[in-house]
């Protein structure tokens, strides 16, 4: 018997490895495409997570800034009746009263400290335009020399903390004829 393969055996032997090779090449291409798609998805997920983290950092920074700006809100709001009382005491005190000067200095110092912490006084003068966002109308009156729809009289000063209204100014508004 001859040990050399016949032509038929040679052609079968040469074709046999080619078929799995072709099948594995198609499988590799599919696998490569699948891995590329998975990689693209992972990159997109990573970008999304990075953007979410960045947005969360920005949100936290805003919240911290808001908390810092309004941390004294409660304290300053509780001081408003003190301002009112001191101003009423000054209005009732005689001009030559020796305590008047001390009260004025104390009130000015309190106002300066409050202003340094973002508190702003809202005290419209007669003739100023009525602002419903910052003023509360207590009544309407006919007032000479004051245009209609403007402040005729101030009852109580209002206050805002860093542009947030703490208490509106209580005013009387001039009537329209």
pLDDT tens string 140-163: 998 888 888 899 999 999 999 998
Looking at the 3D structure of the chain, how many domains does it have? Answer: 2
What is the per-residue pLDDT for 3? 55
- Is residue 17 domain-shared with residue 101, that is, in the same domain? no
Same domain, 17 and 100: no
pLDDT tens profile 11-32: 444 444 444 555 567 788 899 9
Q: Do 29 and 55 belong together in one domain?
A: yes
Domain of 132, in residue numbers: 73-174
Model confidence pLDDT, tens digit, residues 80-137: 999 999 999 998 888 888 888 889 999 999 999 999 999 999 999 999 999 999 999 9
Angle made by CA atoms 82, 168, 77, in degrees to the nearest 5: 35
Same-domain check for residues 50 and 82: no
- 85 and 133 share one domain: yes
Beta carbons of 110 and 83 less than 8 angstroms apart: yes
Region of residue 56 (left: phi > 0; alpha: psi -120 to 50; beta: else): alpha
CATH of residue 128? 2.30.22.10
Q: Is the pLDDT of residue 34 over 80?
A: yes
Q: What is the pTM of this model?
A: 0.64
Do 114 and 156 lie in one domain? The reply is yes
Using the structure block, give the residue that is written with the tokens 């109580």.
156
């Amino acid at each position: 018997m001859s040990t050399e393969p016949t032509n038929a055996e040679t052609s079968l032997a040469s074709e046999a490895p080619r078929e799995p090779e072709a099948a594995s090449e198609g499988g590799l291409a599919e696998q490569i495409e699948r891995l590329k798609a998975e990689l693209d998805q992972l990159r997109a997920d990573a970008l999304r997570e990075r953007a979410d983290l960045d947005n969360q950092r920005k949100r936290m920074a805003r919240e911290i800034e808001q908390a810092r700006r309004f941390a004294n809100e409660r304290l300053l709001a509780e001081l408003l009746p003190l301002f009112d009382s001191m101003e009423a005491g000054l209005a009732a005190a005689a001009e030559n009263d020796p305590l008047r000067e001390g009260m004025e200095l104390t009130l000015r110092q309190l106002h300066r400290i409050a202003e340094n912490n973002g508190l702003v006084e809202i005290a419209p003068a007669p003739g100023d335009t009525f602002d419903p966002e910052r003023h509360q109308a207590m009544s309407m009156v006919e007032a000479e020399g004051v245009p209609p729809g403007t402040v005729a009289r101030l009852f109580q000063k209002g206050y805002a903390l860093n542009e947030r209204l703490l208490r509106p100014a209580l005013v009387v508004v001039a009537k329209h004829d």
